[in-house]
Chains A and B, each alone.
Chain A
Amino acid sequence: MSQSATIAKPMEIKKALLLLYQMLLIRRFEEKAAEQYTKSKIRGFLHLYTGEEAVAVGVIQAITEEDNVLCTYREHGHALARGIDADVIMAEMYGKMEGCSLGRGGSMHLFDVSKKFYGGNAIVSGHLPLAVGMALASKKQKKENITVCFFGEGAAAEGEFHEAMNLAALWKVPLLFVCENNLYAMGTAIRHSHSETHIEKKGAAYGIEAEAVDGMDLMAVIDAANTATQKVRSSGKPYLLVCNTYRFKAHSMFDAELYRAKKEVDEWKKRDPIPTFKNYLLKQKWITPAEITAFEQKIETKVQLAVDFAEAGTWEPIAELTKFTYSENKMQ
C-alpha cells in the first residue's frame, strides 16, 4: 500500500476516525438508498457514489465552513461529508417537505445554503461557470473563503468546462476544480470521449496548476487536497485536482452496464478505499476491530433512522405547487 501522507500527530487520530466514519456512512447510506429505490420509495434518477467515497471525504476535510461547495448529481456522499444530516437527505430523495431542498430537488439537487452547499447540479458542467462567479464574488468582497467545484471527467468535454477554466485563470479567482474521473461518462469510456485522457494536462492550456491523484486512496487524496486548498488560499488562483477513481455501481438505477466488463469492476473493487483505509488504521493501532463494529452499528441505526424520518415526512400540499418559482419577498 502506498501512502503518500501520514497522519502522524495523536491529535489527528480523532479526525482520521471521523473520516473512516464518513466513508462507512456514505457506503451504507447508498446501499439503503438503492434498497428504497427498489421498493419505489425513491424515484427519478438515483446515482450512487459507492467506490468514490475517498474523493468527497478527502477533499471536504480540507476546507472550512466558510468555503463554497458545488457538486454534480452524484452528490449524496459530498452532502454527508459536508455535514448535512442523513435524515434530510433521505427525506429529500423521498420527495418530502422535510428534505434539504423541501422535496423540490430530489437525489440530484441537494442544497443547504447554511452549509454553503450549492447542489446537486445535473447539467453536466453547467455549474462550473457558477463556481467561477462565486469565487469571483469572494474576491470582489475581499473574503477569505474559497470555492470547491466537483465534476466528472465527462464534464471536461463540455465547452462550459473550458470557458470556466479560462475565466477562472484569467480573473485569478480562488477556485479548486476537483475532477472526479471515474472513467465513464454514463457508459462512454474516457478513451472514447477525450483526445487527451490525462485530464490534469488540460490545466496547462489555461495556466492552471494541476495534479492527478489516486482517488481510491484516502490518504493520497487528503494530502493532495490539503496542498491544493492551501495553494488556492495563498495564491488566490484556481487549481485543478484530478482524482482518479471508479464507481462500483451502475451509472444510475436504469443502467444495465453493457459497456464494461464485470472483471474490470472486480479488479477495481480490490482497491476499495474503505478496506484500504480501515486496514491502515488497524495497522497503526488507531482503531480496534471492536470499534469498527461499533461504528458500523451506529451507522446502521443512523441510516435506518433516516429512512424512518423520510417515511414519517409530509407531502407538500398541491396548492403550493408553484411556490419557489419566484421569491416571496420581492425586494432585496
Chain B
Amino acid sequence: MENATTKIKTTYREALKQGLREALQNDERVFLMGEDVGRYGGAFAVSKGLLQEFGEERIMDTPLSEAGFVGAGIGAAIAGMRPIVEVMTVNFSLLAFDQIVNNAATLLHMSGGQVHVPVVIRIGCGIGRQLAAQHSHSWEPFYAHVPGLIVLSAGTHEDARNMLHAALQSPDPVILFEYTFLLNMEKEIPAEATPVTITKAKVRREGKDISIITYGAAVYKCLEAATELAKIGIEAEVVDLRVLRPIDETTFLASVSKTHRALIVEEAWRSVSISAEVSARIMEKVFYDLDAPVQRLCGAEVPIPYANHLEEAAIPQVNDIVNTVKKMIHHD
C-alpha cells in the first residue's frame, strides 16, 4: 500500500494534470475553462482526458476570446463558483489584462470588501521552445506589480502538483504561472498530494556561501548550477521565491543574512523586474550583512528571438550562473 512518502517519477505535465484532476474531484464548484482544454486535450496536453472523465459542464472549451472567458471566470467566481481559467500563453493573457487588473484585482477594494473573486487563472509561461516573440516570454513581473492579485510561480514538479489546490482555497484572485519548457521533464515527487503554502518562499537547497534567489523556469537551472559549484567547494543556497505577490521577503532576507552574498536569477527582462524588487529589499533591510554587492542575471532586454542560439543567449543558462557565482566569491 502506498503512503505519503512513496515517490513516483512524473513529468511536470502529469503533475499539473493530477493537480487539476484532484481539484475537480474535490469540489463540485470547480470547473476548468479555456482554449482547447477539452476536445483537443489542452494545447500542451495538460488536460488530456479530463473532458472524458468530467464532462462538458466541468471542462469547457472556449472560443478565442481571452477578455470574454477570463471575465466570465471572474464573474462566475463572484457568483459562487471556483473556476480555473487556463490561458494558453502569457502573451495571450494581455488580451485579458483589463479583466485581470481592472476587475479581478480591484472589485474587493472598490466594493469596500463586499465582492470576493476566488478565481484561479493558470497561464503558460516561459522561454526555450523556439516559439519566438509572440509565444514565449517571462512576464510574471507585469502581474506581480498589481495589488489585489496573488501571483504564484510553479518552478518545480512539487508545486506543479500541489499549488493549484492551495490556490483554490484563496478567496482572492490567483495568477498561477506554469512553465511550458518544463512540461516533459521528469522528476521524483511524492505520489500523494502534499500540502504547500502559497504565502512563503522555499529554500530548495541549503548552503552557506551564497544565496541564489530565483523563481520559475530558472529554479532547476540554479539547482544544477549549485551542484556544479559544490564540486569546487562552493555551497550555494537556492531560494525559490514561488510567491511573487505578496512576496515573502522574510525567507530570502534570512538566507542573505546567513550567506552574506546574493545572486538573483530570473528569465524576465532586467529592468523593473522581480530581481529589481528583491535587490531593493536586500539593500533596505540587510545591507550591512552583505560581503559583496548584490548581482543579477536576467533575461536580455529583447523580444525573444526564434533562432535557437539567440534564444539561449537571451536568458541565463547554468554556465552563466556558475561563472557569476565564482566571480562573486573570487574563485576565478
Q: What CA separation (Å) do A103 and B111 show in the bound complex?
A: 9
Closest CB in chain A relative to B98 CB, distance in Å: 6
Instruction: List B227-248 residues whose CB lies under 8 Å from chain A.
Output: 246
Instruction: Decide: B67 and A159 in contact? CB cutoff 8 A.
Output: yes
In the complex, what residues of B have CB within 8 A of residue A160's CB? 67-68, 71, 98
Contacts of A136 in B (CB 8 A): 72, 75-76, 81
Interface string of B92-136 (1 = CB under 8 A from A): 000000110011000111111111101000000000000000000
Closest B-chain residue to A158, C-beta based? Answer: B67
Please tell me if A113 contacts chain B, counting CB pairs below 8 Å.
Answer: yes
User: A97 → chain B, closest Cβ, in Å?
Assistant: 9
Complex: A306 Cα to B170 Cα, angstroms: 37
Contact string against B for A residues 94-136, beta-carbon threshold 8 Å, 1 for contact and 0 otherwise: 0000011111110001011100001111010011111111111
Q: Judge if A226 is at the interface, Cβ distance under 8 Å.
A: no
Asked if B78 is an interface residue, CB under 8 A from chain A, the answer is: yes
CA distance A99 to B172 in the complex (A): 23
Contact B114 A113 (CB under 8 A): yes
A138 contacts the other chain (CB 8 A): yes
19 residue pairs from A and B, CB less than 8 Å apart: A101-B112, A119-B111, A120-B110, A126-B99, A130-B74, A130-B78, A133-B83, A135-B75, A163-B69, A164-B71, A167-B72, A170-B63, A323-B113, A324-B108, A324-B111, A327-B108, A328-B113, A332-B116, A332-B169
Q: Is the CB of A102 within 8 A of B112?
A: yes
Answer yes or no: B269 CB below 8 A from chain A CBs.
no
Interface majority SS (helix, strand, loop, mixed), chain A = mixed
**Complex Cα gap A137–B111 (Å):** 20
Q: Is there contact, CB below 8 Å, between A132 and B72?
A: yes
Which chain A residues lie closer than 8 Å to B80 at the CB level?
137, 141
CA distance A332 to B182 in the complex (A): 31
A293 within 8 A of B: no
Contact B71 A109 (CB under 8 A): no
B79: nearest residue on chain A (CB-CB)? A137
A8 at interface, CB cutoff 8 A = no
> Given A133-B71, A137-B79, A140-B31, A109 and B171 touching (CB < 8 A)?
no
A166 near B65 (CB under 8 angstroms)? yes
Interface string of B138-173 (1 = CB under 8 A from A): 000000000110100000000000000000011110
A181 part of interface (Cβ distance < 8 Å) = no
B284: CB under 8 A from chain A? no
B147, A325: Cβ atoms under 8 Å? yes
Task: Indicate if A284 sits at the interface (CB-CB under 8 A).
Answer: no
What is the CA–CA distance of A151 and B170 in the complex, to the nearest angstrom?
A: 31
Q: Judging by beta carbons under 8 Å apart, are A131 and B108 in contact?
A: no
A322 to B63, CA, bound (A): 37
Chain B residues with CB under 8 Å of chain A are 31, 57, 60, 62-63, 65, 67-81, 83, 98-99, 102-103, 107-116, 118, 147-148, 150, 169-172, 246
When C-beta atoms are compared, the residue in chain A nearest to B114 turns out to be A113
A326 on the interface (CB 8 Å rule)? Answer: yes
A130–B62 alpha-carbon span in the complex (Å)? 15
- A-chain residues with CB within 8 Å of residue B148 when the two chains form the complex: 325-326
- Complex-state Cα separation, A180 to B57, whole angstroms: 33
Tell me if B110 and A105 are in contact (CB < 8 A).
yes
Decide: A101 and B108 in contact? CB cutoff 8 A: no
Number of residues of chain A lying within 8 A (CB) of chain B: 51
Number of A-B contacts (CB under 8 A): 156
Q: Which residues of A contact B109 (CB under 8 A)?
A: 104, 324-325
Known: A119-B111, A126-B99, A129-B68. 5 other contacts (CB 8 A): A140-B57, A166-B63, A167-B69, A327-B171, A329-B171
Given A111-B112, A327-B116, the answer on whether A138 and B79 have CB atoms closer than 8 Å is yes
Cβ contact within 8 Å between B70 and A111: no
Which A-chain residue is minimally distant from B118 (CB atoms)? Answer: A332
Asked if A126 and B111 make an inter-chain contact with CB atoms under 8 angstroms apart, the answer reads no
Name the B residues within 8 Å of A112 (CB-CB).
114
Contact of A129 among B70, B79, B116 (CB under 8 A): B70
Bound together, the chains give a CA A126 to CA B75 distance in angstroms of 11
> What are the residues of chain A within 8 A of B171 when measuring CB–CB?
327, 329-332
In the complex, are the beta carbons of A126 and B79 less than 8 A apart?
A: no
Please give the distance in Å from B120's CB to the nearest CB on chain A: 12
The distance in angstroms between the C-alpha atoms of A324 and B57, with both chains bound, is 33
Given contacts A130-B103, A332-B170, contact A163 B110 (CB under 8 A): no
Instruction: A126 to B100: give the CA distance in the assembly, Å.
Output: 10
CB distance from B81 to the nearest CB of A (A): 5
Q: Is A68 an interface residue (CB 8 A)?
A: yes
Q: Which residues of B contact A102 (CB under 8 A)?
A: 112-113
A228 CB, nearest partner CB in chain B, Å: 20
A46 to B302 Cα, complex, angstroms:
43
* Residues from chain A with Cβ under 8 Å of B70 in the complex: 129
A137, B76: Cβ atoms under 8 Å?
yes
Centre residue among B67, B68, B148 by max chain A CB count within 10 A: B68
